[in-house]
Structure 1
Amino acid sequence: MSLFVREVRGVVNSEISNEFASNLGTMVGNFLSKGNAVVIGRDTNQASQMIKRTVTAGLMAAGVEVIDFGVAPIPSINYSAGIYNATVVITVTTSHIHPDEISIKIFSSHKIPMAQEHAEKVRWEDIGSLSYVHDYRAKYRDAVVENVDAKLIRNHASKVVLDCANASAVPFTPEILAKVGCETLLFGSHGPKSIDERFADPGPKSLSMISNLVKTVGADLGIAIDNDGDRVIFLDEKGNALRDQTTLGIFAKDALNENPGSTVVSSVVASRALDDVVSACGGELIKTPVDLVLTGSVEYNTVFGGDEPGLYVFPKFHPCFDAIFASIKMLEIICKKNKALSEIAEEIPEYQRTGFSVKCPHEKKEDVLEYLKVSLVDEGTLNSTDGVRVDWKDSYVLIRPSRFEPLIRVYIESRSSEKLQKLGNKIKKIVETI
């Protein structure tokens, strides 16, 4: 089995117009051929609604059967695709970074070429069908509960503060938490009421409010899920937000304790804390390019995969970043260990990290990376899987091009704050020279 994920992102009504979206749908349909099924869904934003409809029209124009999930989190759409024998999943959501941008994600078991000059439309009598489904919600909810130790969680009777960013995870997550016996205080879960709320996402303001609520009500866990249900941030019982490297370590450690000697996958951005955890548990860690963690989780038959920021995949459940399942899994770990989350977090090594971006035209990125590779070749262990990463025993430097913006991103990490500053100054000088 293989998994390919392609993301198309751009400004709504400019780079991603209705004409573009329709043509994209028809190109996907051309690859599938008449009679195959595609499931499609979106987040709560108006722009997503418009673009999803035009992608759907393009698919139907290619003779494809379209199964419309309406407003639904990305993981629930992906999980349910097999129920409807769909070979492709398409999700349409607003960008986490820029509210004027739309993101179209295409999940498929085969790599779909996007280089056709002309999208071929079928004759009028062969236009594809469109159907709407609603029963996937209960099926996904029940599947999540069945894939954790629900009895253990119920016996613990955890208290949770939950923020769903007023978005597509709102109907799902509270229901699932109720099924596993949690007392849940909902925040940001009433649905969007204004243009600002439609673009809500876990940020400093909402995390501060969740933190205060966690401490006020004495909750065991704070959960902040993004607008399309694939990213999550956790807060411990003291109201402190866990770092991505800490959460990755907690999930990896639990997965390897349950499956000794297994494989974990993350991207080249992953903290050395994950290397330490996987090594201590006797597992194997594979680092992929940033956009290939999901593909790697399937290809390498892993027990867990994750990436920053807040993306976690549990392949035995399904190969998709799933904030909802990750939330229930974190509860299971807290109950299994019978410890506070802050204590569990202390078991994961901590590294200091900094980062910055440098403007760089797309056409110059390869030249910059080659220069950096030559400059750093005699340093530590070189990894050119995605950009240029150099590892030492207690630190690393990663320089990689942004996929969508004219930027070079720099990540620097070290156990020592002094070494962090030293490495930062060194890399800045090299970049300035370039």
Structure 2
Amino acid sequence: MKVFGSSGVRGVANEELTPEFVGRIAMAAGSVFAATGNERVVLGRDTRTTSELLVDSAAGGLASVGCDVTDIGVLPTPAVQAYAEREEVPALMVTASHNPPEYNGVKLIGANGIELVRDTLEQVEDRLLTERFATVQWDQTGHRRRVESARHSYIDEILAAVDRDRIADAEVTVALDPGHGAGVLTSPRLFRELGCSVVTVNAQADGHFPGRDPEPVETNLADLRRLVTTTDADLGIAHDGDADRAIFVDERGEHIEGDAAFAALAAAELEPGDVTVSAVNVSQRLVDVVEACGASLERTPIGSTNIVTQIQKLTAEGESVPIAGEGNGGVLFPEYRLSRDGAYTAARFCELLADRTASEIALDHAGYVNVRRNVSYEDDVERERLLDVIEETAREENTDLDTTDGYRLDYGDSWVLVRPSGTEPIIRIYAEAYEHDRAAELADWMRTVLLDAI
């Protein structure tokens, strides 16, 4: 697809992602929704400074093709998905998730609360590119109304789905860093109602993200690590901009690798015969858990849409898929809801604290080191040149090669994956090994190859 990447449409707001463009996306999506009998569409947004502007454009585009709009305001993406599922109506979410503050984006959600599958996205994209919008007469245009209750319903659903007594009995102190994003409005209340003592940092809604960038990577979480140690918290929790991810800090103030947290959650969930789904950059940590549990692993291209599609396929075939996701904090529990949910994931991790400390949980899945690098490119011509160099380099290596998404070279004791980002003008490099030097060597080698080609 030319427009929709692995996580919707994203770009620099008011430059690449203009109000006019968002209005056209909404017209195309509304035309497809209306053609299938869905003439009501939910609108949600994150805290970015341009989100309200773009929501207004989306509302106008939807109304112009006859769709009534239910505006549920600033909410995490999983809360918008929950509302869509509950009301059985599709949704449009304005968010750029973990991207820098100047970015924004559009994510489309079906009436089942799940991100639109590829076939439906292709229908929307076709209408967008050909401008085949099902516009209506002036007296048939849609209306817009505001609903304030979605936030509370979302929190109540999570409270009903987790073991509240187990979490409360553990007497957990949680240090929470919503990163000025949409989780500011939901996660503090959720964890207090779960019986946790809650301390916060970066917990004011602010689309400039003054405290840290929206992506909850280790280098952005110094404030959270400090808060954990100064308050003797049992766990630190960080969200991205739309709070569909959760990354953790242990009670010593040390970062827990997302892959280790995912592996710990999977170890508590998987039974013999189960299947889990992850992307091609899956850590050996999860592979080890799958083998120990007698389960199996399916790999997909990177991106939650690809993982969700594979889960749906496996479920339709009668397979049990209790947990899936990626090591970036985006975990799905399909029996709860087929969407990534940072607050629910964090609550499930809190259940594990009833028996052990966060550092003990993470230690069970240590032994591997991950290194990541990025290489930026200027335009499509440079992007294609870099991709050609990657392919040539990968095929010259005498090792196992996986081309599910980009190029993954597996050396047995280590691996390196190189692929273009689906949301930014960046080539991403992932490497994992038993030793940091080996992982860094692989990542730096590939980065040097790319930089030499620019």
* TM-score between both structures, scaled by the size of structure 1: 0.89
Number of aligned pairs?
424
**Correspondence for 2:30:** 29
The alpha-carbon deviation at position 192 of structure 1 amounts to 3.2
How far, CA to CA, are the matches of 2:436 and 2:238 in structure 1? 29
The alpha-carbon deviation at position 348 of structure 1 amounts to 0.6
The alpha-carbon deviation at position 72 of structure 1 amounts to 0.8
> Is the Cα–Cα contact under 8 Å of residues 365 and 401 in structure 1 kept in the other structure?
no
**Correspondence for 2:318:** none
The alpha-carbon deviation at position 252 of structure 1 amounts to 1.3
The alpha-carbon deviation at position 269 of structure 1 amounts to 1.6
The alpha-carbon deviation at position 137 of structure 1 amounts to 2.2
* Cα deviations by residue, 1:377-424 (Å, 9 ceiling, x for unpaired): x413x2111011122332112121222444433222211345435545
> Is the Cα–Cα contact under 8 Å of residues 5 and 105 in structure 1 kept in the other structure?
no
5+ residue gaps, structure 1: none
1:410 to 411, 429, 450: 429
**Correspondence for 1:268:** 280
**Correspondence for 2:183:** 169
SS for the counterpart of 1:80 is helix
For the aligned residue pairs, the C-alpha RMSD in angstroms reads 2.6
**Correspondence for 2:237:** 223
Structure 2 residue 393 is the aligned partner of structure 1 residue 392: no
Structure 2 residue 435 is the aligned partner of structure 1 residue 420: no
**Correspondence for 2:347:** 328
The alpha-carbon deviation at position 65 of structure 1 amounts to 2.4
**Correspondence for 2:108:** 106
* Cα deviations by residue, 1:128-166 (Å, 9 ceiling, x for unpaired): 232222222222112111211111112222111112223
Which deviates the most, 310-319 or 24-33? 310-319
* Cα deviations by residue, 1:161-215 (Å, 9 ceiling, x for unpaired): 1122233222311222122211111222233397736966646676222222222
Structure 2 residue 399 is the aligned partner of structure 1 residue 379: yes
SS for the counterpart of 1:10 is strand
How far, CA to CA, are the matches of 1:232 and 1:20 in structure 2? 31
**C-alpha spacing 1:141/1:393, structure 2 compared with 1 (3 Å):** same
> Is the Cα–Cα contact under 8 Å of residues 7 and 423 in structure 2 kept in the other structure?
no
Q: How does 1:25-424 map to 2 (within 5 A)?
A: 25-33=26-34, 36=38, 37-86=40-89, 88-94=90-96, 96-108=98-110, 109-110=116-117, 111-112=120-121, 113=123, 114-116=125-127, 117-118=130-131, 119-192=133-206, 196=210, 202=216, 207-256=221-270, 259-291=271-303, 292-301=306-315, 302-335=321-354, 338-359=355-376, 361-364=382-385, 366-376=387-397, 378-380=398-400, 382-417=401-436, 419-420=438-439, 423-424=442-443
> Is the Cα–Cα contact under 8 Å of residues 248 and 256 in structure 2 kept in the other structure?
yes
How far, CA to CA, are the matches of 2:179 and 2:311 in structure 1? 27
- What letter corresponds to residue 233 of structure 2 in structure 1? A
How far, CA to CA, are the matches of 1:273 and 1:135 in structure 2? 40
> Is the Cα–Cα contact under 8 Å of residues 101 and 209 in structure 2 kept in the other structure?
no
- What letter corresponds to residue 70 of structure 1 in structure 2? G
The alpha-carbon deviation at position 328 of structure 1 amounts to 0.7
**C-alpha spacing 1:407/1:186, structure 2 compared with 1 (3 Å):** closer
> Is the Cα–Cα contact under 8 Å of residues 165 and 227 in structure 1 kept in the other structure?
yes
The alpha-carbon deviation at position 75 of structure 1 amounts to 0.8
SS for the counterpart of 1:31 is helix
How far, CA to CA, are the matches of 2:294 and 2:436 in structure 1? 29
SS for the counterpart of 1:170 is helix
How far, CA to CA, are the matches of 2:446 and 2:312 in structure 1? 35
> Is the Cα–Cα contact under 8 Å of residues 39 and 81 in structure 1 kept in the other structure?
yes
* Cα deviations by residue, 1:272-328 (Å, 9 ceiling, x for unpaired): 221112111111111111122233333333211222422122111112211111111
Which deviates the most, 73-82 or 200-209? 200-209
The alpha-carbon deviation at position 253 of structure 1 amounts to 1.0
Percent of paired sites with the same residue: 30
> Is the Cα–Cα contact under 8 Å of residues 6 and 106 in structure 1 kept in the other structure?
no
**C-alpha spacing 1:199/1:208, structure 2 compared with 1 (3 Å):** closer
* TM-score between both structures, scaled by the size of structure 2: 0.86
SS for the counterpart of 1:408 is strand
The alpha-carbon deviation at position 260 of structure 1 amounts to 3.3
**Correspondence for 2:113:** none
5+ residue gaps, structure 2: 111-115, 316-320
How far, CA to CA, are the matches of 1:135 and 1:21 in structure 2? 26
Which deviates the most, 216-225 or 424-433? 424-433
